[in-house]
Amino acid sequence: MNKDIAILGVGMHPWGKWGRNFVEYGVVAARAALADAGVNWRDVQFVSGAATMRNGYPGYVAGATFAQALGWQGAQVNTSYAACASGSQALAAARSKILSGECEVAMVIGADTTPKGFLAPQKGERPDDPDWVRFRIGITNPTYFALYARRRMALYGDTQDDFALVKVKNAEHGFDNPNARYRKKFTAQDVAASAMVADPLRLMDICATSDGAAALIVSSLDYARRIGKQNAPRVAAISTVTPTFATDTVEMPDLATDSAVAAEPLRFRAALPRKAYEEAGIGPEDVSLAEVYDLSTALELDWMEDLQFCARGDAAKLVRERVTRIGGRLPVNPSGGLACFGEAVPAQALAQVCELTWQLRGQSGSRQVQGAKVGITANQGLFGHGSSVIVKR
């Protein structure tokens, strides 16, 4: 059985720090996706929302919130929360509905409004919550990114200049992207002059938090054919696997890894794309471009290795050789990535799919990756959530 579904339309609300209600962003993205798909809102049979935890009850029931804002029309609804992978889980829910024959066309949508500064835990004295505990002893999100970055420096000889190259590349990629928040061609000197946040990472190595929204209209291949979109890009794989005990890397928000005395240590990030490749029946050699979660510049290098684009330790070399730039053999983050967007948690995994869709349709203008046929996404968030999605033509 063919397990592909078609991506009929995609839409986004530009990323920024707009300070408005997240529902408003979501509706803008949803209407753009409907128009792009040529699908009437009343024909959408399933609304699959990605939740936001920072906007009260409407955010917890995001699927219904967006369905109401677009005008109740009797669709079935679902809401998913999986930190950075929320959008992918919402997409997986839509795919299941479509492949089981319970619906033909679905909307997948996520939007967020974020507070300023460090992401902080819920208030109160809550020693049972690992997220509260780590902040209590002074361990923030950049701490983890910096530990991984320093580890690369010690193991592979990566330098802060290598990390800066990732920022410079992504800044160039996102410069012309109308949906990006930061559109400036930063230089290596700019990165080096920015404030140290968590040694060896500076402010410009670390992604911000943003407001934004992204939406997809997806359908069965049969429906796509009936409306003349048989050539639409397809979702060929959605991996949302959990880590496998014992985790080898200390991950947010934990203060310790699993103990590996009774099981071998395994890397979670590498498991995500492995499952996606297996599901799509392709390998890293088939990939034309990738959108990866560059929470930090150095993390993009980890992802390149986890996606099996090169051997462990060789990612910085690929960046130095301009392989991951647009025009190179394997562009990474042609959208500009989180470096240019900042993270809007429930929308981010869907924004990655939007970019792959535009790229595979050849509609990316100045950031077009020539001949793009297969794209892969990768992201990872709190509490063992992560995802990898493959889109192909």
Partner 1 sequence: MDTPIKTPVLEGWFTLDEREPHLLGARCSTCGTYYFPKQIKFCRHPDCAGEAFEEVQLSRKGRIWSYTNAAYKPPEPYISNDPFVPYSIAAVELERERMIVLGQVASGVGVEALRVGMEVELVLEALDDGKLSWKWKPLQGAAR
Binding site for partner 1 (CB under 8 A): 117-118, 120-121, 123, 125, 127-128, 132-140, 142-143, 146-151, 154-155, 195-201, 244-246, 249-250, 255-263, 265
Q: Nearer to partner 1 by C-beta: 35 or 120? A: 120
Minimal distance, residue 239 CB to partner 1, in Å: 19
Q: Nearer to partner 1 by C-beta: 16 or 142? A: 142
Closest residue by Cα to residue 125 from 114, 112, 135, 110: 135
| β-pairing verdict for 211-219 and 5-16 | antiparallel
Q: Nearer to partner 1 by C-beta: 63 or 200? A: 200
List, in sequence order, every residue forming a beta bridge with 332; answer none if it has no partner.
290
Q: How far apart are CA 1 and CA 391, in angstroms?
A: 18
Q: Nearer to partner 1 by C-beta: 202 or 367? A: 202
Q: What single letter denotes the amino acid at residue 293?
A: Y
Minimal distance, residue 79 CB to partner 1, in Å: 27
Closest residue by Cα to residue 219 from 33, 49, 13, 70: 33
Geometric angle at alpha carbon 119, from 333 and 192, rounded to 5° = 55
Closest residue by Cα to residue 356 from 384, 388, 382: 388
Geometric angle at alpha carbon 181, from 176 and 187, rounded to 5° = 65
Minimal distance, residue 279 CB to partner 1, in Å: 22
Minimal distance, residue 138 CB to partner 1, in Å: 5
Q: Nearer to partner 1 by C-beta: 53 or 227? A: 53
| β-pairing verdict for 5-16 and 374-380 | unpaired
Question: Which H helix or E strand runs over 292?
Answer: strand 289-292
Is omega for the bond preceding 127 within 30 degrees of 0, making it cis?
no
Find how far residue 237's CA is from the centre of its chain.
Answer: 15
Q: Nearer to partner 1 by C-beta: 74 or 123? A: 123
Phi-psi region of 97 (alpha: psi -120 to 50; beta: other; left: phi over 0): alpha
Q: 191, 203 in Cβ contact below 8 A? A: no
Q: How far apart are CA 343 and CA 366, in angstroms?
A: 23
**Per-residue DSSP letter, 51:** P
Minimal distance, residue 134 CB to partner 1, in Å: 8
Q: Nearer to partner 1 by C-beta: 67 or 206? A: 206
Q: What single letter denotes the amino acid at residue 150?
A: R
Helix (H, G, I), strand (E, B) or coil at 8: strand
Tokens of 89: 């889980």
Q: Nearer to partner 1 by C-beta: 195 or 311? A: 195
Minimal distance, residue 218 CB to partner 1, in Å: 33
Minimal distance, residue 108 CB to partner 1, in Å: 31
Q: C-alpha distances in angstroms, 75 versus 71, 72, 321? A: 10, 8, 50
Q: Nearer to partner 1 by C-beta: 35 or 196? A: 196
